[in-house]
Amino acid sequence: MAHQVLARVSHIRALPRTTGPLSRVRADFHRTGVKFKHIFTLGSLQLGGKPATSPVRGHINAALRVDSFSTTATAKAFWRSSQAKGSSSPRANRGWLGKLALGAALGVSTVALVQSLHTGVITAMALKINLDSAQGDWKETKEFLLSLSVKDRRPYYRTSSSVPLDEIPVWAPTAGGSEPSSYQRNEKLDQKISVYTGDITMLEIDAIVNAANKTLLGGGGVDGAIHRAAGPILKQECASLHGCETGEAKITCGYGLPAKYVIHTVGPIAHEGVGEEERRALRSCYKNSLQTATENAARSVAFPCISTGIYGYPSEQAVHEVLATVREYLDAHHDKLDRVIFCVFLPKDKELYLQNLPLYYPAEATIKSKL
């Protein structure tokens, strides 16, 4: 394959040096060919001089297995996408034309080439990703990771294992339950709630929520665990957000986490007791986090128990604010979320959720309580 790449590039370079579109395409071939020369070396397929046994191998092998794709169809699809992104300048279009032509000349993986070039990230970018270091460019790293499928992102997880969504049991109300509830039965919310006991950093879902402090730069408890699992580059992006006020929510990439995104929210401090201000702030944490998730097309989101640890909010009171807020949001936006997961750690918290969920998600229509 390496010989074929270099042979094709050499052939393009040998084309007559004319003016007009052909010379521009040849120039683009030359520039793109240099990139491929650095990626492929003669002999066995290697990446940057290293045997293709790294996580990047999956990207290369997958690209090589892509069936031959119509260059015309690819060009048309890419042209429409480029126009949508505003890439309408002649100079930009000539550059993409040359890169598309190179894919056609190689005869393989045109689709993968277009996808990687379109996002501005070629496969070689993977060689620069080091989630154990704080020295990388978080913007480039984020763009690269978010461009990957779940399968292709797995080699970059920094956790010892991961728990996919389909392994997280769905909670369902007991049929025939008769406990009075102020909420009516809503069948559209079936299969959308889970109570999970375990480490939130292991969940392979669209977004996990971080019970952060106002600096967003890491701390103890869940906050510290998420930062450790994601890696030091998470702190770089968090620093760019310039903090977060109580009740607000801000989103970042998940980096080394199995979760694609981390939604950071700051809960209320309730050491002096719970008043209307604290209740309103806790509700805002959950509502704003859910809204942030849906705005970023995250269809599965997991919450820790926000503010019930060192912030002193009593769990027995928090659970009702949480369940009411989530129920009301799902009633209005059930089509935008597939699963909301309440991730608990203490047996007491698990029991509180299981005991109170039927009040907010009844098994059947009930008469409204007068209480």
Beta-sheet pairing, 261-266 with 249-253? antiparallel
Q: Which long-range contacts (CB under 8 A, 24 or more apart) does 160-165 make?
A: 161/202, 162/202, 162/203, 162/204, 162/258, 163/198, 163/202, 163/203, 163/204, 163/258, 164/204, 165/203, 165/204, 165/205, 165/300, 165/338, 165/339
Residue 176, pLDDT score:
52
Burial 286-300 (b: 16+ CB within 10 A, else e): bbbbbebbbeeebeb
Distances (CA, A) of 267 to 205, 237, 294, 309: 22, 20, 20, 10
Residue 338, pLDDT score:
98
Instruction: Give the predicted TM-score (pTM) of the model.
Output: 0.68
Residues 247 and 281: their CA atoms lie apart, in Å, by 5
CA angle in degrees (0–180, nearest 5) for 348-351-353 = 110
Print pLDDT tens along the chain (371 aa).
444 444 444 444 444 444 444 444 444 444 444 444 443 333 334 334 444 444 444 444 444 443 333 334 444 444 444 444 444 444 444 444 444 444 444 443 444 444 444 444 444 455 578 999 998 899 999 999 999 999 999 999 999 999 999 999 999 987 655 466 789 999 999 999 999 999 999 999 999 999 999 999 999 999 999 999 999 999 999 999 999 999 999 999 999 999 999 999 999 999 999 999 999 999 999 999 999 999 999 999 999 999 999 999 999 999 999 999 999 999 999 999 999 999 999 999 999 999 999 999 998 754 455 44
φ, ψ at 261 (rounded to 5°): -125, 160
CATH of domain 165-360: 3.40.220.10
C-beta atoms surrounding 34 within 10 Å: 11
Residue 174, pLDDT score:
76
Residue 124, pLDDT score:
47
Beta-sheet pairing, 300-303 with 207-212? parallel
Distances (CA, A) of 110 to 9, 103, 114, 250: 16, 5, 6, 37
Residues 369 and 184: their CA atoms lie apart, in Å, by 11
Q: Which two tokens stand for residue 353?
A: 């959720």
Residues 129 and 138: their CA atoms lie apart, in Å, by 10
Residue 59, pLDDT score:
43
Q: Measuring CA to CA, which residue among 119, 142, 124, 128 is closest to residue 233?
A: 142
User: For the chain, what are the domain ranges?
Assistant: 2-128, 165-360
